Amino acid sequence: MAVMTHDPEWAVRFPELFAGLSEQQKWNVHNNIASHVMEGWAPDRDDIADLTAFERGDIDRAEYVRRGLARVSARFRQQ
């Protein structure tokens, strides 16, 4: 297995959101984002903030889901 020694693209783009995460956690978040982007997701800063907070343990799965659903609902109301 190759050892990754640089920060992933999303961590470079939003370094303040990735602060406090280990290198492995940064890659976990990055890979999660990359996988979903390939399926058509266009994450914004709030999406990335919630993913990093979840990975860091600042919020639990239920809170992560609640926030995501609230954002989706708000986006549909704006349309």
Q: What is the pLDDT of residue 7?
A: 83
Q: What is the pLDDT of residue 63?
A: 98
Q: Please name which of 37, 66, 31, 67 lies closest in space to residue 49, comparing C-alpha atoms.
A: 67
Q: How many CA atoms lie within 13 Å of 60's alpha carbon, on the beta-carbon side?
A: 1
Q: What is the mean pLDDT of each run of 10 residues along the chain (79 residues)?
A: 70 95 95 94 94 97 97 88
Q: What is the pLDDT of residue 78?
A: 86
User: Per-residue b/e over 32-41, b at no fewer than 16 CB within 10 Å?
Assistant: ebeeeeeeee
3 state SS of 35: helix
Q: How many CB atoms lie within 10 A of CB 2?
A: 4
| Predicted model pTM | 0.83
3 state SS of 51: helix
